[in-house]
Amino acid sequence: MLRLYNTLSRKVEEFSPVRKGEVRMYVCGLTPSGEPHLGHARSFLFFDVFRRYLRHLGYKVTYVQNVTDIDDRSIEASRQEGRPWHEIIERYYSSFKRSMRRLGVAEPDVEPRATEYIPQILNMIEKLVETGHAYASDDGVYFRVGSFSRYGKLSGENLDELMIGARIRENEKKQNPLDFALWKFEKPGEPSWPSSFGPGRPGWHIECSAMAHDLLGEPFDIHGGGADLIFPHHENEIAQTESILTPPMVNVWVHGGLLLFEQRKMSKSLGNYEPLYELLDRADTQAIRLLFLQTGYRKRMNFTEDSFSGATVAINKLRKAWRTLTNGQTIDFETHAEHDGIVTRVEEALADDMNTAAAIAEVFGTVDRIEEYVQGGEALDAARALGYVLTLLGLGPDERWLEEPVIEVDIDAVAQRLIARLEAVVVPDGESGERIIARAIEARDEARRKKDFALADRIRDALIAERIELRDTREGTTTWTLAGE
């Protein structure tokens, strides 16, 4: 039985779909106002695995992932770049789709765009006005937050506390600081659509409510997104939807944790923002997927170059184990192929609130036993089971796994990063990359002789982070290779 953490109830619950054998899920998609980044990748990679697992359980899944193709951010990007807003959308949306394909993320079943649902959006707004939950003002139509008594039930926010310090901006004509825009009246140079209230464009929150209602109805099973969407976006979705439609809007709310980059929020102003396509150009995409699966989806995660290097070493170890088990043979692992409890243990991990970290631990537990399987004549059976769960996790294997990796590494670049990590290693100017690595190993050996094990471990950790594997010989010397060679 699948158990999921429900943000609404703040506890792990047994999942039971509204309709037997069917799961209807809506996940807030991209706002293509700029290049997607690694945080987007983490969110959509998780929901990709989640959807795979639901289908593995036998559910008919309808997975809807919207595109917010009109909002304040895309209009602002249009102004800054001097290009029409729809060109901004298509440029960054296309980049996002290419990156998702490279990461092995399956296409949504339905991918609605907000601009395709203007009639449905206006219909909801008109009903909200008719029932007193919304009102027209000089600059648009606003939702009256005070009219919904359950406001704050998802996020835990308190209306009285929210009012402290809240204010109405000079350019806003709403009655209450907490009220939010449903329809924004036309401004010069901005796209707009006709309505009974006046030409304008939809607010962000009402877009998702209208698309989810039209495509999935109420209640649907799962609404997902990043934790940063809990408030105000998802809170506002609930308020405007349940004000005019029979509650609940959704049975289970699933939110993924935020991603930090080197312990900071990714931001262009902080200089730690890298477009996703640039990272994928220099990265092993399956290593990125593995890295995210090693951390629970609800946890805040810190991405570092060291953590990515470690995941690259791990994925190469996994591929090497696969080649050992299959011995170059192509095997069928599309059907259920249990062996030694491998599949069952991974299924149990995923059934426990999508515990992908435990599932990956089971995968590498199998890797640690490959010699036992080979010696016992069980290699192909183990490979079938391993291939089955790897496919479930979206990690392969595919035909590339049967090939020895060809690793092209800029040794000098590796050496320079190593110098930056190790202030204890003195390197004369002009040294080659190989000699710098050798000096670091010599410094480690010297630290061990002096019983300065803290320094020795620090040097070893730095070497491992750069995918340099050390081998201590019986003669007391140390050799090295790049991981995967």
End-to-end CA distance of the chain: 43
What is the C-alpha to C-alpha distance for residues 135 and 26, in angstroms, rounded to an integer? 28
Q: Which two tokens stand for residue 238?
A: 């609930």
Which sign, positive or negative, has the C-alpha torsion 137, 138, 140, 146?
negative
CA 134/CA 146 separation, integer angstroms: 10
SS3 assignment, position 431: coil
The one-character DSSP state at 400 is G
- Provide the token pair at 102: 């490279």
CA distances from 458 to 79, 207, 360, 421 (A): 49, 51, 27, 9
CB burial class (10 A; 0-12, 13-18, 19+) of residue 462?
Answer: buried
379: CB partners within 8 A, 6+ apart: 324, 325, 326, 327, 370, 373
Amino acid at 174: K
Residues 6+ apart with CB under 8 A from 160: none
SS3 (DSSP) at 284: coil
CA distances to 56, 337, 360, 396, 405 from 342, rounded to whole Å, are: 15, 9, 11, 16, 26
CA torsion, ordered 383, 389, 393, 399, to nearest 10 deg: 30
Question: How far, in Å, CA of 71 to CA of 363, rounded?
Answer: 43
Give the CA diameter of the chain.
86
Q: Any idea what the Cα angle at residue 127 is, between residues 121 and 133, rounded to 5°? A: 105
**The one-letter amino acid at 305:** E
Domain covering 3-130+203-260, topology: Rossmann fold (3.40.50)
Which residues, in sequence order, are CB contacts of 21 under 8 Å at separation 6+?
58, 59, 60
Q: Rounded to an integer, what distance in angstroms lies between the CA atom of residue 146 and that of residue 5?
A: 29
Provide the token pair at 402: 């049967």
pLDDT of residue 44: 97
Chain length of the chain: 485
Three-class secondary structure of residue 399 per DSSP = helix
CB atoms within 10 A of CB 403: 10
> What is the model's pLDDT at position 251?
98
Specify the CATH architecture of the domain 300-402: Up-down Bundle (1.20)
DSSP state of 407: -
**Phi, psi for 143 (deg, rounded to 5):** -85, 135
Binned average pLDDT, 10 residues per bin, the chain of 485 residues:
97 98 97 92 97 97 97 92 93 95 96 98 98 96 96 92 77 87 95 97 97 97 97 97 97 95 67 81 91 95 86 91 90 78 96 97 94 94 94 87 63 71 66 78 82 78 73 64 56
| pLDDT for residue 475 | 58
Provide the β-strand partners of residue 55.
none
SS3 assignment, position 68: coil
Look at residue 473 in the predicted model and tell me its pLDDT: 59
Token pair belonging to 233: 């976006």
Report the alpha-carbon distance of residue 127 to residue 124 in Å, rounded: 5
> Running DSSP on this structure, what letter comes out for residue 146?
G
Q: Which helix (H) or strand (E) holds 210?
A: helix 204-216
Q: What does the pLDDT read at residue 417?
A: 74
Domain coordinates of the chain in residue numbers? 3-130+203-260, 300-402, 411-482
| CB-CB contact of 87 with 94 (8 Å) | no
Residue 214, SS3? helix
The two structure tokens encoding residue 307: 């953590």
